[in-house]
Structure 1
Amino acid sequence: MFTDLISKKFSDAFDLDVELRDIADNSDEFPTLRALALLSIGMPLHDGYMSCRELLEILHWCADGRPEGKERLAKLLGTDCDDYQRALYYTLAAAAVMKCWAISSD
């Protein structure tokens, strides 16, 4: 797979977490982006990509009203081994709640 080739070729030569640390330490960035960067530090490139891609697909299915989207989301949130995806989901969900709260308090 292409992403395996890229991750093997470039991940040994570079510290991929440098940019994530810069984002996490930058107080000018949005808190959600900083939280996502902190969650991703130390995550292998391919694993992080596939986890985000799967979560994005599930969220698209939920937004489209497909019942299998809710089923997959419930399975993802209930599985002990998906800590990274669960943390991503709750970080994004909290950001959405805070945005709605900010809009309603105006």
Structure 2
Amino acid sequence: MVFKKGDKSWNIGRKLSEEHKRNLSISLQGVIPWNKGISHTKETKIKISKALKGKIGNFKGKHHTEESKKKIGWPKGKRHTKEHIKKALRRKDKSSLEIKYN
């Protein structure tokens, strides 16, 4: 039997065992994606831009929950001031710029 475009794959709906998932994870570690480091040409970027013009965003009409708003806003209190960043960049040791999350 030949696979034709539009046909369903033979393994649709089948669950992978935990062992198989672990083996896949191990075997794919360190594999570099074929498109890493390749950027779109200007012509392609223009085509993509034109294709997306006029489309409504997928979050349009929806609202963040209070919980998600807190999660989004949480790191804002951890950000450094401009003065602190300038001082740290002048120093050789820039470890003070790291944000430490709890």
TM range (shorter): under 0.3
Query: Which structure has the higher relative contact order (CA within 8 Å, separation 6+)?
Result: 1
- TM-score (norm: length of structure 1): 0.23
The structure with the greater share of residues assigned to helix is 1
